[in-house]
Amino acid sequence: MGIRIRKLSYALGAQIEGLDLTRPIGESEFGEVHRAFLEHGVLLLRGQRVDREQHIAFSRHFGELDRHDSLPRDRDPDHPELLMVTNRERTDGQPSNSRYTGQLWHSDMSFTLVPSLGSLLRAVEVPPVGGDTMFANMTAAYDALSPGMKRLIDGLHGVHQPERKGADQAPQWAEQNRRLNPPVAQPVVRVHPETGRRALYIGEKVRRFESMTEEESQPIIRYLLQHATRPQFLYRHQWQRDDILVWDNRCTMHIALGDYEQALERHMERTTVLGTPSGHVAVDAEVA
């Protein structure tokens, strides 16, 4: 029957049906998937009972995979291409370092000099309700800005910090994270290298603009975040076990919602496709 594509929302997202990732994917099949990826920004593949090697193999179709050297505590020791997003306790009985991963509006790896092209997140165990992920269409959000606001933000660089909700509960992680990931200044408006479309590149990990103080920057940042997360730009994904969700970090941002019973298990595994170099280490210290 071939691949079928069904839109998930008005703003972005499509479900790919008729694709079995337990078998090799042909060039023609992946071409359809890739075209849908560029068009819809977020792709859903349901009922994919794959193992870790098959997850990684499918991910490689999108490009070179990150080995997550910037997040060594979160990657799987046997498969560094896999980042654990889990609330499972560690083997030493301590809480998972990644239990709060993603609970801020962000684009994956924006705090690095090679931010992610795309991410592929597999749901291994999910609570019966809650634990959803929301996505924002940053191309549509940029297009809806006034000409004056577009002129204002053109040329600005947001300083992305490697922050994480709840990281204060893991001081060793926070110290290592700051050492491995100095603040990186990324353009607020990025041009998609494949579609040529402009998109906002902002998130809650951005507290200020380069060469500006936080006090000066925050009103504009707050406005852009509120604007980009208006309902008409959003898709909310309700996870099912064995879902694989693929998204384009160059034109979307997302947030993991902590709206579930924390005693229940939520275990996800993510591959991260490397993108093109972008931004630079922020050269100016913030003026208090």
Mean pLDDT for the chain overall:
92
What is residue 140's three-state secondary structure? helix
For residue 178, pLDDT beyond 70: no
Is the Cα torsion angle 176, 181, 183, 188 positive or negative in sign?
A: negative
The predicted structure's pLDDT at residue 2: 83
pLDDT value at residue 180: 65
| Segment 19-75, tens digit of pLDDT | 999 999 999 999 999 999 999 999 999 999 999 999 999 999 999 999 999 888 889
Q: Which of 45-49, 90-94, 185-189 has the lowest mean pLDDT?
A: 90-94
Q: Which residues are catalytic?
A: 106, 108, 254, 270
pLDDT 10s digits, 197-209: 999 999 999 999 9
pLDDT of residue 168: 46
pLDDT at 171: 60
Q: What tokens does 160 get?
A: 């992305």
Residue 88 predicted with pLDDT over 80: yes
Asked if 30 and 24 count as a contact pair (C-beta separation under 8 A), the reply is no
DSSP 180-212: H---EEEESEEE-TTT--EEE---TTEEEETTS
The backbone torsions φ and ψ at residue 7, rounded to the nearest 5 degrees and listed phi first, read: -65, 145
The pLDDT of residue 71 is 84
End-to-end Cα spacing for the chain:
62
Span 79-87, mean pLDDT? 94
| CATH number of this structure's domain 4-279 | 3.60.130.10
Mind listing the pLDDT tens digit for each residue in 218-256?
A: 999 999 999 999 999 999 999 999 999 999 999 999 999
Encoded amino acid at 27, one letter: E
One-letter identity of residue 131: G
CB 63 within 8 A of CB 117: yes
Q: What percent of the chain has pLDDT over 90?
A: 80
pLDDT of 288 above 60: no
- Quote the Cα angle for 16-109-189, to 5°: 85
Q: Is the pLDDT assigned to residue 84 strictly greater than 60?
A: yes
What is the C-alpha R_g of the chain?
Answer: 18
- Of 106, 111, 153, give the one whose Cα is nearest residue 252: 106
Q: Which residue has the higher pLDDT, 181 or 146?
A: 146
pLDDT tens column, 111-147: 999 999 999 999 999 999 999 999 999 999 999 999 9
Confidence of residue 264 (pLDDT cuts 50, 70, 90): very high
Q: What is the pLDDT of residue 85?
A: 94
- Looking at the chain, the whole-number percentage of residues with pLDDT higher than 70 is 92
State residue 287's pLDDT score. Answer: 44
Mean pLDDT of 165-184: 63
Strand partners, 254: 106, 135
Higher pLDDT, 287 or 72: 72
